Structure 1
C-alpha cells in the first residue's frame, strides 16, 4: 500500500528509506 507519488519514483529507493525507519514525510522531502 504505497502512495501514488511513489509510483513515479524508484520503488527501491522509497523502500530503502522506509526500512531505515524514516517517516514518509522525509521521503517526500528527498524526492
Structure 2
C-alpha cells in the first residue's frame, strides 16, 4: 500500500542523487 509507494519514492530520490554524482564525476574527468 502506502509503504510500497514511499519506498519507491525513496529509491527514486537515491537514484537521482547517484546519477547526479555520476554526472559531476564524469564532467570532472572530461575536463
Q: Based on CA coordinates, which of the two structures has the bigger radius of gyration?
A: 2
Normalized per residue, the structure richer in helix is 2
Please report the TM-score for the alignment, with normalisation by the length of structure 2.
0.35
Q: Choose between structure 1 and 2 for higher RCO, CA contacts under 8 A separated by at least 6 residues.
A: 1
Please report the TM-score for the alignment, with normalisation by the length of structure 1.
0.35
